[in-house]
Chain A
């Protein structure tokens, strides 16, 4: 190599290095509280499956973590985001080495690694979200949305003009199937002719696929969209079409997304993980929860515990833009036979489901699946296990083949 060539190489490397350095991000700093007095402290670690910036599932969990940090002076928190399921055990070890005595793993796919680690570390307390395996030192928790999806369904059924409602689904695990079924049950109660069309995108967080699926559904005639995906993309698509003159109604998911679609987003579901996290951490701190008594602790919190909220925006149950439309549609209450507007029905059901012993549950029979099989007898309410393992579609749902 001649000198000239060496110089050329060095210049090239220098340009590339300086150009690329512009984009390098400084290492993440971990949130910590610095305490002045010496008080017994608890350090809790959260493991997230996605990025906090997803504005969906992971962000909602992080909001819960931040709330606890603010409210409990004895609490120190840390988190790791975008952890692949295979990396979970290693990350748990890192958190334990970092001093965490309480660990929250926030994805269904972390279930088995968490159990494995719980057995390996009997002195650490583990909490797994959205799973069903527990151990002496591993409890489970979940904020269950099916009541909210049912309420969203009531609104969707009333607002659709084409009787075609689209659902962009991340995966078809029982949790998502349960939500879609609750949504469809709500739709049918108000609009027996409407159907719910499910498209699967195989990713919890993928704005590109979510957009493609949403556009495909709209192209097929759907004018209402709901979804399980961790970004506001479907709402943005709805807003874009609405701005161009084609009204698409959307329902927000997990985090308040109404601002992404002020003319499209009708309502939605908002998670309040902080309610569960605060309860858990307070009980751990007070010694009520130990490393040996968690085997039967399963938080399955819903409306009445305040673990979830109806709406696309905090404090706003229904987008004011659509309230009049909902008040104009009349429906008959299937239980009492009373005639009322859909708006009033939504409010009534919300109240009924928020009571200490809910006087209404969407999964009350008779319920048929989309193959004609009776899944719940008249008057029978589906129990926890049936809801947890649900792998069948409600009769008005058009979706891909499921496990069973």
Chain B
């Protein structure tokens, strides 16, 4: 095991984990406010196709990624209206959006298959920092979206846990009746958090198609949206822990091709990220365990003023 190999695997773990990270932290915000958004996969894939399409049309990767986020946000808006205003079962609404997103993205993306990328982001070495042995090459030899996540995610953690805005969000997810009595606009907070979650999922998808691969392939998210949903539990609804989880899952995904060298059947290795996801979900989905892990108490429960 030489150092080049270790560095390469760790670098790949971060790159592969970045889309998971964006989507997970977005979902953390949504769930912290009490809305379970299972449409992440659909929003991610729509972000991927929109990002790629916008990249071809505008030639600017940043505009493309941003617009992809907007598309994800719009989809999340549908989910939030359905689940908050119409009190549709959040699981159903989210799943419906996932399927819708997968289908629409294939339709919309048909004319972009095989079209060479026009806009992408290449790796940028941060001067000085990237010279640090091991850490420098792993963390500071990445593309700009990874660097954005290095700054954005801690900021989002800070907002959620150290500011008044964060307290408001978390109170809406824990005890909306009490928050409502104190004058917090429950519906508005939930809408905004869900939309933000969709925006981040869109960014995650665009990262895949504009930077990571970069290409548009049908169903290219390959279930990463679902891994993100599992990661929100795995991270105990905290953005910093989400970073650890995302890079762990990213590492499992990235290292499968290296592990093939050790005789482990490729089929088994390909299953690893998803097996890990299932384990997390099985363990974390039980009501009892969720309460112990610190899940938002009102997660998934629509709020109606006056109802118990």
Contact = CB atoms under 8 A, between A and B. Distances in A.
Contacts of A220: 5, 258, 261
Given A202-B266, A212-B12, A54 B114 contact: yes
Contacts of B213: 207-208, 211, 233
Interface string B155-169: 000000000000000
B265 interface: yes
A30 interface: no
A219 B260 contact: no
Interface string A296-317: 0000000000000000000000
B114 A16 contact: no
Given A212-B12, A219-B5, A23 B215 contact: no
A215 interface: yes
Nearest to A214: B257
B108 A23 contact: yes
A59 interface: yes
Contacts, number: 114
Nearest to B113: A53
Contact of B85 (A5, A20, A54, A197): A5
B74 A215 contact: no
Interface string A11-32: 0100110011001110010000
A52 B114 contact: yes
A55 B53 contact: no
A205 B217 contact: yes
Interface in B202-226: 208, 212-213, 215, 217-218, 220, 222
B217 A15 contact: no
A23 B108 CA distance: 5
Given A23-B108, A25-B108, A212-B253, A53 B115 contact: yes
B224 to A, nearest CB: 10
B78 interface: yes
Nearest to B255: A216
Contact of A212 (B16, B104, B113): B16
Given A53-B113, A202-B270, A208-B213, A23 B258 contact: no
Nearest to A9: B81
A200 B268 CA distance: 11
Interface string A200-227: 1110011110011101111111000000
A199 interface: yes
CB-based closest 9 A-B pairs:
A53-B114, A219-B8, A216-B257, A53-B113, A23-B108, A200-B266, A207-B215, A51-B113, A213-B257
